[in-house]
């Protein structure tokens, strides 16, 4: 392709003209390493939840709670993947899953008092999407990850 400023031929995959320094194509979106770390942590959390659920299924503990754990882990993993590939829907999916868990746990809480109770569920359901929202505001080169999500 040709540089729009100096009209010289530049390599197809280059971002800047090697002769005049002109930007020849838009820069790929960038996120702060901290945001990337948190998103990977979120994916890892999802994998762990799936593994715990799988262990529960394996030991014959086929209860509603294991199913919820499995689904939440899967959604968590998928949300992290969506956010890492710049799709804002990943955030709304996280929020929806947290809300769904809260409602389901509120209904089934009396059957699973050993599970930490509603305090834990409330903290997890409302804190995770809120913390994630603030994490996504961390800026790199003046742009937050949130503003770059599509």
Given the rule CB under 5 A, which residues bind Zn ion? 3, 5-6, 17, 19-20, 22
Q: Which is nearer to Zn ion, 3 or 145 (CB)?
A: 3
Q: Which is nearer to Zn ion, 2 or 111 (CB)?
A: 2
CB 32, min distance to Zn ion, A: 30
CB 20, min distance to Zn ion, A: 3
Q: Which of 26, 37, 39, 35 is nearest to 144 (CA)?
A: 35
Q: Which is nearer to Zn ion, 6 or 41 (CB)?
A: 6
CB 5, min distance to Zn ion, A: 5
- Please tell me the distance from the alpha carbon of residue 78 to that of residue 65, in angstroms, as a whole number: 20
Among the residues of 85-141, which ranges form H helices? 89-108, 117-135
- Please tell me the distance from the alpha carbon of residue 139 to that of residue 83, in angstroms, as a whole number: 15
């Amino acid at each position: 392709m040709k540089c729009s400023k100096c009209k010289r031929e530049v390599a197809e995959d280059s971002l800047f003209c090697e002769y005049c320094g002109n930007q020849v194509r838009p820069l790929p979106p960038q996120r702060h390493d901290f945001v990337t770390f948190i998103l990977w942590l979120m994916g890892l959390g999802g994998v762990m939840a799936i593994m715990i659920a799988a262990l529960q299924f394996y030991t014959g503990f086929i209860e509603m709670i294991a199913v919820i754990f499995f689904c939440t882990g899967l959604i968590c993993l998928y949300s992290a993947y969506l956010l890492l590939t710049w799709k804002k829907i990943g955030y709304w999916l996280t929020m929806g899953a947290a809300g769904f868990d809260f409602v389901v746990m509120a209904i089934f809480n009396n059957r699973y008092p050993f599970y930490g109770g509603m305090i834990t569920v409330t903290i997890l359901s409302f804190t995770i999407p809120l913390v994630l929202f603030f994490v996504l505001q961390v800026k790199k080169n003046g742009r937050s990850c949130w503003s770059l999500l599509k």
